[in-house]
Structure 1
């Protein structure tokens, strides 16, 4: 068993240093594979003593008890458990140490049991205290009140967050289970996450971050007072539970008030900072929804608030659930769609405005979906990226696009070049070169590769395997192109490293140049730079002759956009090329046709 390869999710590491309890994980065989550092301080035993062992091998005490038998049954059934108490044999002491643990099973996306994850804390002193108090109570009945108060103090300590004084995760899980245990009871959950807490921690330091959390907790406590209990569940995440047939309107009011409160400045060590927050709201009724479902729904709503730009509230609605269901359905269909050839290239011509001739085309992926019709990348690209399937789509597009180019030339049509998009994932695949050799059989039609994901490309291109791949592509006679240049994602440093044959000026910059003299100057500077470096340039996204004329006046002659043609299916593009071969030279607006600009 390779313990080093089993790494807990980052959230455990984020919370481990500030938690009052320790975190633990086991594998599918119930052997311990992870403990947070807190266990060493709590028990005085090195983590290594436990790693790789079963819980049953760590205790020689009370293993025949009813609680142990129930616990073993829970583990075999992969059920969650709470507050299981057992004794640990200390390697250097005769007396056992008592601990109390709670855990929940982990499953993979396809339902395979992976192990357990949970929390624990040491209760030896608590048990000894309780035992002593109970013994004393049997002798002196008058001390019954003292015993009761001591017990309450111990329980309160176990359920409070030591930093903020709010209730902790343990209390949260108990309370939400109780609230949903009442059939028909409407329970509303607010999940609050701080937007800029990591930045505060990184720049001002962890002590300052702790003081920010204390102040944030005070604001949450004040707003939630009398409405519902507030919890700090770890790190910079908080929950508020509204139970007893809660009112949604009140929860929405509270969420808006919290957003405003978190936007108020916080002064720390003479420095003023604003932390901000995002909030997700979900609700459900007892008997109809489990605690895990309600928590998951609040997480989804929080994700939507962050996706909307942070600093806002989002409530889980039927519309969001429908979108998620549709997204899950699409994700399940993409692998088969690739195999079935449902992803097809559409071609957008690239034109030399000086003579109206086609100088090439870009192959753009479309999904010919059997139910939804033709889908553009916006409908599937993010999902395919998450699934790691973009390289497979790239491969299919290259094969089909080059096959089309070969057939077009065989029919006597003029298509000097074809450009295909290539993701970074595809760029690093070992079979890329062999695929190009197999697919690119008619090299009279030049092949251009447009590099996408230029944000990460500035970093990846410095890796030896990526740089080597680009050099090999260039040696094969393939033209390297950078897409969306000027969008704020592609840098000049990356441009110098890649040394492309051509850059494509982003459509947003091209269209802005029509209205904004400053943006025109930016386009002009890009053209001057590319000329100085000997790099070709094409302006994409042009929609009319006015835009073409303005960009031509700056010195660009090659264009792509709706002004010439929308992306066309293979059949329509074939007809387009035939028609272009018959037409006389198209007159395109030139510098003398420029309208007067403000």
Structure 2
């Protein structure tokens, strides 16, 4: 070994025997002149077989890669090199190894080049670990990217309508309240309602209705571009807000443009339909007009437009304010209506699609008004909230729904569960638990409370009475459902806090997911979250078997919607249960018509 005295050479030999690396030397022709014993255990070859050969020409070395070109340049220039890596095919098992070598040129006292001396190391495992880490990081990055997209979509939905892409009610309240906070600001509100939309829904179906809504949204967006934001409030109702000291003439021009464009035909599948629009206009001044008053004034103007004959615009006038009297009349009547049993439950079944069995029903409030006929909740719940009787309606629905369950049991019909909507006021009611205990007598039927979409879980969960009520209800066996999940009111954080037994995926999100792959990912993510938290998930608002099939592919099994049955009064639902039970008994009967034994 050149340029080492015998003492230093022995020290190097001794160290080489215990080192995990190996030492090497080459001569001036780059031929191996020394290799420590460690290399034999790594390469599984005899040192004697490779002494005198250059590294690039050792058996098993692949020296054709571009890395060797730079290495040869270092050797020719007699420069030190560090961490040069190359592959080696081990002859005993054909395994590819990766070796790392570093070297320093040797010169004698006269400056004559004598060769190289250096160290080598097997880095195969290290490289494999790095490759695995790279692959793992790449997979993690891809997963993070997917989750980021889903998270952005969920965050976007907080202020965006899932069907049309317009801003939603929550965004409207936020933006308009902010505009009303600017001193002296004039705000003009256009309330647009589509005429004949119910006819489209009833005759052509909800998918056609969705096409009409999206087309209407696009038309409104184009007209209002650069002037004011457009909001979808739900159903076929839209709002346009003109702020920053808006002028009524601008609103009038926009209204005329909207009336014209809404009359144009809309292609639905292979046919053409059309709708028109009715528009109510109201204005307010910050400091003098509240958000609630501005909306109420626009509602009054819209009502007048519809009453006049639809397809027209009306601005709020003093005469229209007389309509407030009618609203007040409803407010004065609703308490008596509750006492007189005019507020009644309608029932809509909930189905497990695998078995086609009824797993329960939701009880929905209706007002059988002696003069106005059957009123949906949209017609009276706001009034009920104003006079503070929503909790009374909740209590009434619970009593009547549970009475129906007892009535059904008395005639041999079994309902597995009944879901009842629960408002903020009812959740705060200190008598809620006692009331449930007194009237929930038939424990064979599971009682479920649906927390409405307008409830702010984050705020309510800070109230002791709400926390106590939920705790005691669960202890009694009452189950909690989060209604309209995905509509933007319930956050993931509140879901973790409440930990409901079931979430009901919002109808509009369900319908959007049918045709939109991105929205489908959102529904899939919600279902994945539900499974991770061991929470049941039910899709509401399913209209067709195609809807059901798509959602089943995403992992949903529980459904509620028109594809199975519309909401129906107690008598009709009793007949429905009887028919379903008879059909089930027929399916499970033996050929002689007798029920099969277990």
Give TM-score scaled by structure 1 length.
0.48
Look at both structures and tell me which one has the larger radius of gyration over its CA atoms. 2
Using the size of structure 2 for normalisation, the TM-score is 0.48
